[in-house]
Structure 1
């Protein structure tokens, strides 16, 4: 079914066309003055100059055309030329019933021309624990993936592991110092390598920071790590075998941690998977005249005449022939094009990487790594900060592990739930995990992705205000009402009747706008707009709830209508939070 605003706009556009004006002037928006009207159209203002007519005269004509239309309760011309619209209760109720009848999609149509999309998010380095710096990429990327998939597209989420840079050389160098007799360090060894890794995930997580610290203080150690990195990238067998062990051990641990965040990936690929594509890609860039040597490094010019600030060349290979992030990101594009031919690739990464991706996108276009019609989208996000306005840290100033942050949020939620005194500790623990994840994800997603935000544990875990727990509390309240109604009645076959009060109409109106708000969040890659919508919908429900004695209503037909509206509201909220990546408990 058509989205509500599209349906209303179409009817108003017909009126403009019938009156002899361009139907494009009939675009309708939600009113920014809900005290005056529900919807507004400013087309008469826009068309006044074209048609050499006062805008209020055009608006008067359109209002006359719309009078008597069953869709509208009123359509009024207001000087200097605005068109103020209110929809009829009958129309709203019919629309809500159509939504309710669509069990799977709530009336939302799938994309008419679905696209193949790859979303690059996550991006952790192997052999290192996830920390708060990985949070936003995981949460935003997962929401964008779910939203794009629900819109009807074929979507693949790729974690794109960091497994090919200096950190690999550092691990190999430190492991060689600790266990020099391992067969992986024998350059002449030609046999099969052991299947079991020579380290655990705990040992691996300790090895990297130790090696990194040594590298900063010891030039010889740093040089050895650089050499090991280069040999790994050139295909040394023993180092390749160690890389496989590092990946297997790391990925197993990463999956457990991402699972706690309700984040999943379709592709567990990394920079190393793109390595086989690098030689041919580099040779083609040279052969086609795009890549040249500059101070020993291989670069491609990416500056354009429209640039307002300096755009340095994109380095493809370092002077020693080693690959960089630029190299592997470009080779990954080659691999993705060969394997999947995506229509669009969305990168959900820290906004501070914008220069890197601008360079890579320009190289990809210039060298024809991707077809001109393939979309390359940079969705840069801001940082999660502490109350001091600086990137979030532990109390002693270190980088906080993601599992510790989750534990802190869950502990806070458990404390609040137990304070309520109506839940046993075991159930309270399970509920705290569900609500804690909602608090964390909603606290992040309700902010515009590109903006920095302050992580405030007390605010995020509050059941009041624009928070995840408040949204869940609303859903749980509706569940409770429906459950009590079902003790004596069936939910089957209930229909929404035209609203009898302003608060009922507001709730019905917001429920009907699900498709419009979903479409905006999808097209703008803006999960925060879906958050804003469900917060507004929750507020509308709670106003209606506080003004209406739902279960004690003696008019059974009216009560059944309210229950049908509540059931639809619950389904919209549950679908929305699922798209955002969290769920609601049965009770709180």
Structure 2
């Protein structure tokens, strides 16, 4: 379906053309003065200079040419030259009826679907997820869902950190503790045990212990570096330990990401790109893209238009070791070969922007991607505590994601029990659903690039711009619809009548903007725009609800219209929160 604003604009294009003015001036926007009008056009103001006439004269000439009022109900020229518009109420009701019968709720799918890889995990194996992993997971999941809803082939990749020094450190510490393990016997030729010699809890304790030792003991660090090198060169026993680390870690990561309702299509990591590195290095050297500088292999990526220094992209260190740049470039080659994406989108802390500028420029310069392949980076701000510093535990340490989710769920459980709104047997499950909305909405309602304060008390509130408030609104619509059905009535799609009150029309107008919001939010990769929209829609619904007797309406056709509108509001809100990555309970 075409967007309502586009249909209005088409009418104004006709009017501007009939008034012998360039139709490009017929741009329509949602009114910033809803007390005066619903939509506005400021084209006459912009056209005044070109046509050497007062803006009000041009505006009046355009208004005179609008004769068909089937779409535009009211149109008025006001000084100094604005054109104020109101939609025809019957047309609005008809538009929403068509929207309700459209399985995509009026959203037009992409005419040329793209394959887009979203790199939004970045977790390191053998380490627990902490709050630092929250933003990339939440924002990336939402962008993936929005893209799928728009009809694109979205591929989410966790891109694990699974091939660095941390592996050598774990192997070294494991050998210190259990030198008798068969993995350290180079003469062993049999099959290695299927069961890992450690649990996830033990693994998560081994790594920080080993990391601490390597900072104080130079010999220990050398052994860890050597273990890393031998692992990467294929030492059989070390590869077997690495597989155990991966299996144990990935199982735990899937559980924790699952608690966030975050799901990846690919569970690949840095290790998967290693086989592409040797050929890539040869290609960069043989084709003159890379050169040696003080022993390191680099690619110059600075450009004449740069206003600040952009250092070369380092491919190999002077000792021949690969770096993040190397692995990320090899991963681009791998993705282009296996998936032929139209776009690769990366989510990471905005402080990593320089790294991605270097990698993207290198990939383009060396023709590792097609000319039309989009490489995009969404840099997000930090999640801070009330003190304005990065979010920590009360003890001052980095908070594990599991603990944060647990604390939010406990807070929601207490509020739900105090309200006695659901049975005790359902309270825990409901608390988890509402708690997830508090976390995700609290994050996504902020522009990704900005830092924000994670305020547990505010985010778990049932009032204001919060996830629980949105869910409470959805549950309210479900409750009314449920009572209507309990009375033996059947919901009728397409039963919408022209709005009777200002609040009803405002609600209908808000619903009608759904398709434009989703399209724009995905284009700009901006989930916060969906949050802003559903907060506005929830407010409009609650305003309508408080001043309208819905179930006690005597006019059956009008009542059926109210209920059809409520059902559409529910469907739009539930679709939006699904795009944001959470759901609503039946009661709360």
**Would you say the 8 A contact 1:476–1:586 is kept in 2?**
yes
* C-alpha distance in structure 2 between counterparts of 1:552 and 1:97, whole Å: 23
Please list the CA deviations of residues 42-95 of structure 1 after superposition, one character each: whole Å capped at 9, or x if unmatched: 122222233333322221121112244221121111222211111110111011
SS in 2 for 1:477: helix
- Aligned-partner SS, 2:243: helix
Q: TM-score, length-normalised on structure 2?
A: 0.98
Secondary structure at the counterpart of residue 396 of structure 1 = coil
Q: Secondary structure at the match of 2:403?
A: helix
Residue 27 (structure 1) shift: 1.6
Partner of 1:547: 547
Query: Is it true that 1:587 corresponds to 2:584 in the alignment?
Result: no
**Alpha-carbon offset, residue 188 of structure 1:** 4.7
Pair 1:493–1:294, CA change in 2 (3 A) = closer
1:247-258 residue pairs with structure 2 within 5 A?
247-258=246-257
Aligned to 1:313: 312
The residue correspondences of 1:67-86 to structure 2 (distance < 5 A) are 67-86=67-86
Q: Give the conservation status (yes or no) of the 8 Å contact 2:97–2:494.
A: no
Closer/same/farther in 2, CA of residues 501 and 228 from structure 1, 3 Å limit: same
Q: Which residue of 1 aligns with 2:128?
A: 129
Q: Which moved more, 1:309-318 or 1:184-193?
A: 184-193
CA distance in 2, matches of 1:422, 1:310: 59
SS at match of 1:561: helix
The 3-state SS of whatever aligns with 1:160 is coil
SS at match of 2:83: strand
Which residue number corresponds to residue 52 of structure 1?
A: 52
Are residue 110 (structure 1) and residue 113 (structure 2) matched? no
Aligned match of 1:384: 383
Count of equivalent residues: 587
Cα deviation 1:98-136 (Å, max 9, x = unaligned): 10111x211111011111100000110000010000011
Task: Kindly report which structure 2 residues correspond to 1:404-553, keeping only aligned pairs within 5 A, or say none.
Answer: 404-487=403-486, 488-493=488-493, 495-553=495-553
- Note if contact 1:4-1:515 (Cα within 8 Å) is conserved in structure 2: no
In structure 2, the partner of 1:361 is 360
Matching residue of 1:36: 36
**Aligned partners of 1:20 and 1:188: how far apart in 2?**
90
Task: Give the direction of change, closer, same or farther, for the CA distance of 1:422–1:113 in structure 2 (3 Å limit).
Answer: closer
User: Residue by residue, what CA displacement relative to the aligned partner does 1:257-292 show, whole Å, maximum 9, x if unpaired?
Assistant: 111100000000000000000000011001111112
Structure 2 alignment gaps of length 5 or more: none
RMSD of equivalent CA atoms = 1.3
Query: Contact 2:56 / 2:78 at 8 angstroms: preserved in 1?
Result: yes
For the 8 Å contact 2:422–2:587, the answer to whether it is kept is: no
Q: Is contact 1:233-1:322 (8 Å) kept?
A: no
Q: Which moved more, 1:401-410 or 1:49-58?
A: 49-58
Shift of 1:460: 0.4
SS in 2 for 1:418: helix
1:177-203, CA deviations, whole angstroms, 9 ceiling, x for partnerless residues? 122233333345444433222211111
User: What displacement does 1:427 show?
Assistant: 0.6
In the alignment, is residue 140 of structure 1 matched against residue 139 of structure 2?
Answer: yes
Distance 1:368 1:191, change over 3 A: farther
Structure 1 CA distance for aligned equivalents of residues 233 and 20 of structure 2: 71
**What pairs up with 1:323-402 in 2 under 5 angstroms?**
323-402=322-401
Q: How does 1:57-206 map to 2 (within 5 A)?
A: 57-102=57-102, 104-206=103-205
Distance 2:362 2:536 in 1: 43
Q: So what's the TM-score if we normalise by structure 1?
A: 0.98
- Tell me if 1:6 matches 2:3: no
Task: Show the counterpart of 2:299.
Answer: 300
1:36: Cα distance to partner? 1.5
Matched, 1:243 2:242: yes
Once residues 402 and 483 of structure 1 are traced to their aligned partners in structure 2, the CA distance between those partners, rounded to angstroms, is 36
Secondary structure at 2:347 match in 1: strand
Whether the aligned pair in 1 keeps the contact of 2:170 and 2:206 (CA below 8 Å) is: yes
CA distance in 1, matches of 2:564, 2:455: 37
Rate the CA distance shift 1:189–1:317 in 2: closer, same or farther, 3 A: farther
- Distance in structure 2 (CA, Å) of the matches to 1:53 and 1:374: 47
Q: Deviations over 1:515-557 (max 9, x none)?
A: 1111111111000000000000000000000001111111111
Tell me the SS of whatever aligns to 1:369: coil
Q: Deviations over 1:549-582 (max 9, x none)?
A: 1111111111111111101000000000011000
Structure 2 match to 1:224: 223
In structure 2, the residue corresponding to 1:429 is in which secondary structure? Answer: helix
Whether the 8 Å contact between 2:315 and 2:322 is mirrored in structure 1 is yes
Q: Give structure 1 stretches of 5+ with no counterpart.
A: none
Please state whether the residue corresponding to 2:495 is helix, strand or coil: coil
Which stretch shifts more, 490-499 or 44-53? 44-53
Could you tell me how far 1:231 is from its partner in structure 2?
2.5
Q: CA deviation at 1:493?
A: 4.4
Answering whether residue 578 of structure 2 is matched by residue 578 of structure 1, we say yes
Shift of 1:459: 0.5
Distance 2:113 2:15 in 1: 32
Q: Distance between the aligned counterparts of 1:189 and 1:58, measured in 2?
A: 90
1:442 Cα offset (Å): 0.4
Query: How far apart, in 1, do the equivalents of 2:125 and 2:237 lie?
Result: 18
Cα displacement string for residues 362-390 of structure 1 (whole angstroms, at most 9, x for unaligned residues): 11001111111000010111111000001
| SS of 1:564 mapped into structure 2 | helix
**Paired residue for 2:561?**
561
| Distance in 2 separating the partners of 1:422 and 1:49 | 62
Q: Residue 161 of structure 2: SS of its match in structure 1?
A: coil
Cα distance change, pair 528–393 in 1 and its aligned pair in 2 (3 A): same
1:285 — aligned with what? 284
Secondary structure (helix, strand or coil) at the match of 1:193 reads coil
